[in-house]
Structure 1
Amino acid sequence: MADNTYKQVFQTFPIQQSDGSFYEVVFVPQGANVSYPFTDTPVPDDLKTKVPKYDWQFGKWVDSGIDPNTAEIVTLKEINASLGTQLARAVAAVGQANKAISALTKQVATDITPAPTSTSASAGAASTSVSSTSASSSAASTSASTSDNK
């Protein structure tokens, strides 16, 4: 992205950011004038292994005096605490979801279980139906033979 149409500048911050630095690299159009909180003064090579901070009073980059490893550890601890909180919330949500699933599963099982019926009553009804059909068939047969005798 750093081609002839854009230039690299640094947005400075008075306090250390979550990544441990006091600035963020941004790109602006080549002809743009920058002013506070942006500077186009590059970070000197001797400060690249440290945690540089732009001193607006002197108009130059200075060593913030913060150990980069300590800054990174502090940042990682903050991220870890945040992730721990998010995990606890997610576990609680899963617990609630599992309870809801269990309740719904029990309700579905209750809804689809047929009501108990007496098998002897069902068999008797089927038997009566068959008997009625036989009687009708027998009556038709008698009626047919009577008409043939005439």
Structure 2
Amino acid sequence: MRRLVLILCLLAGPLAAVQPNEMLDDPALEARARDISKGLRCLVCQNENIDDSNASLAHDLRVLVRDRLTAGDSDAETVDFIVDRYGEYVLLEPRATGSTLALWLAGPAMLLLGAGVALAYVRRRGRAAPEDARLSEDETARLRDILKE
């Protein structure tokens, strides 16, 4: 029974984030607002979208999104308005433009660079067989004698 109550409490958390007084009467506009809200980061909770967050700032952002949509803005205009106000950090999936392009490309570039360095190291190490690493005739004969015993 306790587990059931715990599971229900955990499932009910995100459902309580959007308050009934925030919801729009038009289902199409509400669906658009929910879609936009799921892509915007709560600046208080950091890794939670504003649709699921109970923070007061997330509430304000949800209301702002709905206000912009009822004013006639498109989805892109609404997101651009919020990004202009709060910066690209508010986007859960930042755009791959400008300074963020360097961040998007840094990971794969470092992976390729590391693979190249590792390959060069392995190739160089395989080729570098020192001459004195080979056994002399005396050492070879002694090894044969040891193996015969």
Question: TM-score category by the smaller chain?
Answer: 0.3 to 0.5
Which structure's residues are more often helix, by fraction? 2
Bigger Rg, structure 1 or 2? 1
Which has a greater percent of strand?
1
